[in-house]
Chains A and B, each alone.
Chain A
Amino acid sequence: MRRPQDRALAELRARIARLGGGGMCGDGVLPFGIAGLDRKLPGGGLALGCLHEVAGGGDGAAAAGFAAGIAARTTGQVLWCVAMQDLFAPGLEQAGLPPGRVIFVEAGDDKAVLASMEEGLRHGGLGAVVGDVARLPMVASRRLHLAAKGTGTLCIALRRWWGRTGASDFGQPTAAMTRWRVSALPSEPLPVAGIGRARWRVELIRARAGECVDIELEACDGSGHLGLPADVADRSAAQAGRRKAGG
């Protein structure tokens, strides 16, 4: 049963979205399947047909896994543009993105990466376009966002930088719909020596028409889905399995 205030609010939101143009897109959303995350995002998931930014820092390995997991859950081919290739395809496959679904473009520099991303977004036949870029000026991000909106293709800009200038560049505003930071946390503790399932701190630093989130999650599984750690959720799949095995 919806209260009248809720309905009024929803109507108001729809009107603002129509006026705002750059805000909500009518292409639907891609939910993470994690209630704590989806609840904070407008529409209940990552908006398709929009630009999203993921901060990777220097190595950008966790961010690459995060982006690969999102791209894996879209349908269709994925275009991944890089300046210099250092992605390892078996690793991406373990994040859910098989080699047959990714076309790589090794463009050489940031400018060519951005141009290739825009070209891919304008095509419309792709599921997602991912790009490793160091600098993302406002104008370039707006172009990407508009190109993504035109075709409904999901766009992820993976920000990588080395040194302080790159970090301060990441502080500059862009036209991205959401901005994430993914960093590695100590893995799931195991009863024996060894490394358990990887864990990430996933921070949603900025979301247009949404709220910020800071949450600890398990890294993408083989189908690109994130998981809620067992000691955070009451009973995650892993925990349930172990209990069954133990008892």
Chain B
Amino acid sequence: MWPIDRLRRQAGAKPAAEAPLALVGRDRNRRVVTAADPAAKMLGLRAGMPVTKAQALVPGLVIEPADPQADAKSLGRLALWVMQRFSPIVAVDGADGIVIDATGAAHLHGGEGAMLDALTGRLALSGVTARAAIADSRGAAHALARYGGAPVFVAPPGETAPLLAPLPLQALRLPPAIVMGLHDLGFSRIGDLTGQPRAPLTRRFGPELCRRLDQAFGTLAEPIEPIRPQELITARRAFAEPIGAAETIARYIGKLVATLCAALEARGLGVRRLDLICHRVDNQVQTVRIGLAMPQRDPARLTRLLCDRIETIAPGFGIEIMTLTATLTEPLRLKQAASSLIENPAPDLSGLIDTLANRVGAKAIYRFAPQPSDVPERSVRRIPPLAEDMGANWPDHWPRPARLLPRPEPIETMALLPDHPPNWFSWRGVRRHVRRADGPERIFGEWWKRDAEQVAVRDYFRVEDDTGARFWIFRAGDGENAATGSHRWFLHGIFG
């Protein structure tokens, strides 16, 4: 799909989305279809089909020349974008794929699943159809992304084998000739091959088959050769003797950061994403990525953030090369410090925010801001901690609870209809007699968001029991018309 998506993106709206589109290239001296969009595929076109046959099948077919070089170049740019946003180790995988090492980077996006969702979501927004999978080995992820069922899939660690077994043999990245030969012998799934003796297979098909099998199951290491664009600012240090102690790593991190910051200062840049890549003697790569809320080039602060994560680096038999790359940079001009004559400058919290964000994840640190909505759970939204103050506040007509339950909990009540508070209610097994109550405060559904809310109503009451505990409860529905809600009662919040 990549060539089609790229063409549509770059050409704008020229080939209309409804018309079936096919790309045409040359296979020796025949003109064949190299890619077809979903509309054309629905009509029976396949890659590898002669153009004349395709045109005969689909009369209104739009044909564009294929341009593999532009596709590859564009894919390289996409890989660079993924590297800057998602993970330090990224490489182009074949003609239509990108392989990402998610280790050490997923925490910034709130876990592996969230990271894949964010990645495919961003790609879909810009018109690129993407399928993604995370698995234990590069081969398994390749197979699951291309031949697995779900468009976004995270394989649980250690359970690769049963997931790979039902996939077709093409998923192993084998040359077509080997796949055809295996088909002739009656093998069609990866699971068919796993129990077979290896020697006859190797004698017949060469070492490639077993190598690919081992790579898919993770028994053979397959390092990713990451893209390293020249224009990124990098500091590199190779060691004559491999290093392993945490203190030594910290010392060299400090030296690398100092070099990098000098280079950044010379260009007037500050760093937003910083990657530390440690090459070990056993050819494994350990990575640490830190993200910053604002562009920075303060060596002490960057060193501190990197040193906080030293414990995630497994040095193994020793580290021989350390590379520090400023993956994402933004201009950072020198600022004059505010004079203390007029007023005390507001303390700079970005250092604290960065430290916390790299520890608990950037999504877990936020501020609340008002959202224009009457429905309580929709009236707050989360904004980044250093975002500008909105200046707006919530309306102050009615008291609001200090704590809101994650979702309203059903309660048992005895209440007069239509608009009386309950006489008693029981929540979490405790029956409470209502001594005083305020309400109802009627909240209407937001019909512009969902059709189901067109007539929905909630009647909120503030009730106080004998001991003085105050609760925020509501009845779904207006008490008269069954269409407005189920007339069941829920407890939604607790007042102080």
Q: Could you list which residues of chain A lie within 8 angstroms of chain B, going by C-beta atoms?
A: 59-66, 68, 76-77, 79, 84, 86-95, 98-100, 102-108, 112, 115-116, 119-120, 123-126, 182-187, 193-195, 198-200, 219-220, 222
Contacts and interface: CB of A to CB of B under 8 A. Distances in A.
B125 interface: no
Among A65, A105, A112, A123, the most chain B Cβ lie within 10 Å of the Cβ of A105
A195 B464 contact: yes
10 contacts: A84-B406, A88-B402, A93-B396, A94-B396, A112-B359, A123-B351, A123-B352, A124-B347, A125-B349, A195-B436
A222 B397 CA distance: 12
B462 interface: yes
Interface of B: 347-349, 351-353, 355-356, 359-360, 364-370, 376, 379-380, 385, 389-391, 393-394, 396, 399-406, 435-438, 462-464, 466-470, 493-496
A195 B462 contact: yes
Nearest to A160: B403
A243 B367 CA distance: 42
Nearest to B363: A106
B494 to A, nearest CB: 4
Contacts of B349: 77, 103, 123, 125-126
Contact of B393 (A61, A93, A115, A119): A93
Among A63, A103, A126, A194, the most chain B Cβ lie within 10 Å of the Cβ of A103
Contact of B364 (A59, A107, A123, A182): A107
User: Which 6 pairs of residues, A with B, have the shortest CB-CB distance?
Assistant: A125-B347, A65-B496, A89-B368, A88-B404, A62-B496, A61-B494
A84 B403 CA distance: 12
B436 A187 contact: yes
A64 B403 contact: yes
Contacts of A124: 347
A186 B367 contact: no
Given A93-B393, A195-B464, A105 B368 contact: no
Nearest to B405: A86
A90 B372 CA distance: 12
Nearest to B469: A184
A98 B379 CA distance: 14
B436 A64 contact: no
A61 B400 contact: no
Contact of B438 (A89, A108, A195): A195
Contacts of A62: 402, 496
B496 A200 contact: yes
Given A99-B369, A186-B435, A59 B494 contact: yes
A95 B496 contact: yes
A90 B401 CA distance: 8
Contacts of B391: 100
Contacts of A100: 367, 389-391
Contact of A116 (B360, B399, B404, B406): B360
